[in-house]
Structures are given as C-alpha cells and as structure tokens.
Amino acid sequence: MPNHALPDEDLLKRLADTLYQQGYLALPDALPPPLIRTLQNRIQALDNAAFHPAGIGREQDYRHLKRVRSDRIHWLDSHDPATRSYFDWMEALRLGLNRTLFLGLFDYECHFAWYPQGARYQTHLDAFRGNNNRRLSTVLYLNPDWQTGDGGELVIHAPLPEQAVRLPGLATPSATPELLRIQPLNATLVLFLSEVFPHEVLPAHKPRYSITGWFRVNTSSTRQADPPA
Ligand code: OGA
Ligand code: MN
C-alpha cells in the first residue's frame, strides 16, 4: 500500500528530471496537508526566544551581518517526534534523488526561519564551490495566508561566472539575471543546487516562516566546521 505521508515514485521522478535539466525548481503544494499542519503547530509553539540570529561564516561584523540577513533561526532536531515526519519525507527525497541522479547526498540538516516584518536576506550562495559539503538546498514555506503584495519572495539568480570567487553567505556585489521569483506560499517546496545559484529573499512585509535545509555530501575535508551553530 502506498504511504501517503511520503513522496511517491512519480513525484520523485519529476523532481529529479527537473533538477537534472535546470538545477532548481519550485513545487506548489509539495507536502501532504497534515504534515504541513504539524510543522505549523511546531513553529507556533516556539516562542521568540527560541529563535536566534543566524551567523554567516565566522568572525562577521554583526552590523554588517544584520544588513545582509535579518531572519532568525531555530535548528531542528531529527530526533524530535514533532518533526519526525518531515525528516522522513526528506529522507525519502534524498534516497530518490540519489537513485536517479547519483548525487551522493549523505545527510540533511535544517532549521526553521522566521523573518520578522521588514527582514530580508541579500543575494548569497549557500555553499562555496568545491569547498563545502552543502550540495542541495531546500526551502519549505509555512505561511497559510500569504498574499501577493506581502513581499518576501525568494529570487533565484543565474549562476555566477565560473571564475568568480565568492564566500558563502556574503552578498554578491553584482547581481546576475533573475531566473525565478517565488512567493513563499504555504507548502511550496523549493530545491536548488547550493553551490550554483545565488539567491535572495526580498523584504517581507509581515512575518514569514519556512524551513530551510541542506542535503550534504560526505567530504573527507575536516577543515570546514559546518554549519556554524
Ligand atoms: C537561506 C535562504 C531562502 C528562503 O536561508 O539560506 O536562502 O526563501 N532562504 O527563505
Ligand atoms: Mn540561502
């Protein structure tokens, strides 16, 4: 009997095909409604103090950081029963993508993100090409009544020229053309290659909630401590 709480073969194949062709995708109504409700309840049960300012690399000037990124985050624990079904869904996605795309995705880490009114995240890469084990980024939105005009869109930009050297998390000085603009609508799932696509979150005009995560590959390099806590 199919398990309706997990992505089916047909969906996994569609996601893998699109990722193979363009390296990014946005899928509306991606996860089952009961699972989305569970995640909404979990995020609502957290008080503001459970969210902390996110770091970008190490030794960053805090004022600079706030200009680049003003969301607040709460790391998810894969052993927490409240979010178990989300990790199960992502594990099925990981196995499905590995089977068809040979990505070698090894594990998954994720956090809730809360963008208070006015918060944004300027153009950045999630991983530094060849030097970070984050391979595929995921974003799942948890905003039941998001309207056009509420801002907070995710903008995916074209890849930087190969020779451009960028540090992860830092705003890129010159933007590449816009490929896709995504409204943070409830249950929309976004996937993109972490090392390839610069992206930004436009200022949100009301509180905006999501789960951002990364599938990682198992690199032998131990010089990079990732993620920063
Ligand atoms: C991030 C990020 C995108 C979004 O947290 O690194 O780019 O739409 N999030 O929330
Ligand atoms: Mn990002």
Task: Encode pLDDT of 167-212 as tens digits.
Answer: 666 556 567 899 999 999 999 999 999 999 999 999 999 999 999 9
Q: Is there a domain that residue 102 lies in? A: yes
In order of 91, 124, 226, the CA distances from 121 in angstroms are 27, 8, 20
Counting the structural domains of the chain, the total is 1
Those residues whose beta carbon sits under 5 angstroms from the ion ligand 2 are: 126
Please tell me the pTM assigned to this model.
0.89
- Residues 194 and 125: beta-carbon distance below 8 Å: yes
Instruction: Pull the structure tokens for residue 147.
Output: 């309207």
Please check whether residue 139 lies inside any domain of the structure. yes
Assigned domain for 221 exists: no
- Residue 112's domain spans which residues? 9-216
Closest C-alpha to 216, from 64, 119, 110:
110
**Residue 98 is assigned to a structural domain of this protein:** yes
Q: 139 C-alpha vs ligand 1 centroid, how far in Å?
A: 7
Tell which one of 70, 111, 136, 154 to mutate to probe ligand 1, the residue whose CB is within 8 A of the most ligand atoms: 154
Residue 34's CATH number: 2.60.120.620
Taking 70 as the pLDDT cut, the residues of the chain under it are 1-2, 55-66, 129-132, 162-174, 220-229
45 contact partners, CB below 8 Å, separation of at least 6: none
- Taking a C-beta distance cutoff of 8 angstroms, is the pair 176, 155 a contact? no
Using CA atoms, how far apart are residues 145 and 92, in angstroms rounded to an integer? 28
* Residue 65 resides in a domain: yes
Q: Is residue 147, in this structure, part of any structural domain at all? A: yes
Q: Residue 214's beta-bridge partner residues?
A: 109, 137
